[in-house]
Homo-oligomer: A and B are copies of this chain.
Amino acid sequence: MNFGSKLEMAVRQKHSAVCVGLDPRWANLPSAFTDGVDKLDLVTIADRTTKYCCEVIDATVEFSPIVKPQAAFFELLGPPGMQALGSVIAHARKAGMLVLLDGKRGDIGSTAEGYAAAYLGETSPWGCDALTINAFLGNDTLEPFVKRAGDTGTGIFVLVKTSNPGSGFIQDLKADSLTISEQVAEVVQQHCEKRDGKFGDCGAVVGATYPEQLAEMRKRMPNAWLLIPGYGAQGGSADDVAHGFDSDNLGAIVNSSRGIIFAYEKEEFAGMNWQDAVASAAQTMANALPKFHG
A residues near B (Cβ < 8 Å) are 23, 42, 70, 72-73, 75-79, 81-83, 85-86, 104-109, 111-112, 114-115, 117-119, 125-126, 134-141, 159, 162-171, 173-176, 180, 183-184
Q: Which residues from B are CB-within-8-Å of A180?
A: 170, 173, 175, 180
Query: Closest 5 A-B residue pairs measured CB to CB?
Result: A78-B125, A140-B166, A138-B166, A173-B175, A72-B114
A135-B170, A159-B137 given; A164·B106 CB < 8 A: no
Q: Which residues from B are CB-within-8-Å of A162?
A: 108, 137-138
Which partner residue on chain B sits nearest A112 by CB separation?
A: B72
How many copies of this chain does the complex contain? 2
The answer to whether A170 and B184 have CB atoms under 8 Å apart is yes
The answer to whether B72 and A115 have CB atoms under 8 Å apart is yes
The answer to whether A136 and B159 have CB atoms under 8 Å apart is yes
Docked Cα-Cα span, A46 to B75, in Å, equals 18
The answer to whether B86 and A139 have CB atoms under 8 Å apart is no
Docked Cα-Cα span, A111 to B261, in Å, equals 16
The answer to whether A78 and B86 have CB atoms under 8 Å apart is yes
Measured CB to CB, the closest approach of chain B to A142, in angstroms, equals 9
Contacts A73-B111, A79-B86, A173-B183 known; list 4 others, CB within 8 Å. A78-B118, A135-B169, A136-B170, A138-B164
Measured CB to CB, the closest approach of chain B to A6, in angstroms, equals 23
The answer to whether A79 and B70 have CB atoms under 8 Å apart is no
